[in-house]
């Protein structure tokens, strides 16, 4: 496990960093206040090759590994995690097609994303099924050469902006059927008749990211849009997370690094009792703790990404990275607000946004508690084997 970056990796990192500092940061507060979708930034990121990095070369993509995606993601998140989440949701939506799509499906649905800036979405969560994925109620019934889909999805990132969705639905009506056989993964065109897109949800943080509920009412999907086969959906949906959780952890690290940088710069300038507050041990020790957490969280996501790129099952490392980095983002952002004092609680300063944006990292793509369940299962399993 080496972390000496190649020249190509350094180039992607530098491009993403320059874009974040020069183009995202100046407008991040505007998008946070307005809640507008950051389409100009997404188009620019697409032009720079910072979106869709996972798409295989055979479909016109860059075919980069998870490690490179993580390096890019950390830098984008440093600028604004609302923008980064809109971009990362594309990777999550694409991942089932990348890992399970046949050549025709990949060329059709991944290929179009390399031809023009376009979004997709991962439609799994429902109003009554978040962590309990096996509890989803959306049904797909086979009728001739088509499936008819009925149900409701919730908290779908890019829900109102996507060109197509990866959708998980129940195809086996038997409630006793195991999750590994009960669900099927579909690719669904977003303009299909019967799809009703809900209002944009106003969230605590990451406000420019587009999050919505979506209703599917007698939506017809051709059987060619089934991924692998009927009953394979649950495994595909979960398999996507092993590849997308490291970049989510990288996003959390980007936020934490931004909080650390802002707090450090402020502590060098702000004076109390006749000296900069950084010279008070109470403050310098907080910065030291924050720095330790940022460095260790970065190592965690890099290990998880490196494992998956080496072709190994990385579930254990992916969950450690996601859980740890999500917690670190929250701790470091909260400490940054503390170092800013009363100013930190004010919207004229950048750290209150970081604190609001951080919370979702302990919730989406598997809560902090679900990650601990996975880590415990994987850890104990080694001793039982």
The set of catalytic residues is 365
The structure tokens 């800036």 sit at 117
Write 1-10 long-range contacts (CB < 8 A, 24+). 1/303, 1/306, 3/299, 3/302, 5/71, 8/68, 9/67, 9/68, 9/71
- Gyration radius from the chain CA atoms: 21
Residue 84's nearest CA partner among 130, 8, 19, 30 is: 19
Nearest to 243 by CA among 185, 309, 296, 300: 309
| Element spanning 150, H or E | strand 146-157
Helices (H), the chain: 7-19, 25-34, 39-47, 66-79, 81-100, 103-105, 111-115, 179-182, 233-269, 281-309, 315-340, 351-358, 368-384
225/261 Cα distance (integer angstroms): 46
**Spatial contact of 133 and 179, defined as CB atoms under 8 Å apart:** yes
219 beta partners: 149
How far is it, in rounded angstroms, from Cα 309 to Cα 298?
16
Quote the CA–CA distance of 192 and 296 in Å, as a whole number.
Answer: 45
Dihedral (CA of 89, 320, 68, 63) sign? negative
């Amino acid at each position: 496990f080496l972390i000496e970056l190649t020249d190509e990796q350094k180039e992607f990192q530098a491009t993403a960093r320059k874009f974040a500092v020069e183009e995202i940061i100046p407008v991040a507060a505007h998008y946070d206040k307005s809640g507008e979708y950051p389409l100009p930034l997404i188009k620019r990121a697409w032009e720079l090759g910072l979106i869709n990095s996972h798409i295989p070369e055979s479909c016109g993509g860059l075919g980069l590994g998870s490690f490179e995606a993580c390096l890019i993601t950390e830098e984008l998140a440093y600028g604004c995690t609302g923008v980064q989440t809109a971009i990362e949701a594309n990777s999550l939506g694409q991942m089932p097609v990348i890992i399970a799509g046949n050549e025709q499906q990949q060329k059709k649905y991944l290929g179009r994303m390399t031809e023009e800036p376009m979004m997709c979405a991962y439609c799994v969560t429902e109003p009554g099924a978040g962590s309990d994925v096996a509890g989803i109620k959306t049904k797909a019934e086979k009728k001739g050469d088509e499936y008819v889909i009925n149900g409701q999805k919730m908290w779908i990132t890019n829900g109102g902006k996507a060109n197509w969705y990866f959708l998980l639905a129940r195809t086996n009506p038997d409630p006793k059927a195991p999750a590994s056989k009960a669900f099927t993964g579909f690719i669904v065109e977003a303009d299909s008749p019967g799809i009703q897109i809900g209002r944009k949800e106003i969230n605590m943080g990451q406000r420019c990211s587009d999050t919505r509920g979506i209703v599917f009412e007698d939506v017809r999907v051709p059987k060619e849009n089934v991924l692998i086969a009927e009953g394979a959906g649950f495994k595909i949906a979960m398999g996507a997370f092993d590849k997308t959780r490291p970049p989510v952890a990288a996003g959390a690290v980007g936020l934490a690094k931004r909080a650390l940088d802002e707090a450090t710069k402020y502590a060098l300038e702000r004076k109390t009792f006749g000296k900069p507050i950084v010279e008070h041990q109470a403050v310098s020790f907080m910065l030291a703790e924050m720095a330790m957490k940022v460095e260790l969280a970065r190592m965690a996501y890099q290990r998880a990404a490196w494992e998956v790129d080496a072709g190994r099952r990385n579930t254990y490392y992916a969950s450690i990275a996601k859980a740890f980095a999500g917690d670190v983002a929250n701790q470091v952002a909260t400490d940054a607000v503390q170092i800013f004092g009363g100013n930190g609680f004010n919207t004229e300063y950048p750290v209150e946004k970081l604190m609001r944006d951080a919370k979702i990292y302990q919730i989406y793509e598997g809560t902090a508690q679900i990650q601990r369940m996975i880590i415990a299962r994987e850890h104990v399993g080694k001793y039982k084997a």
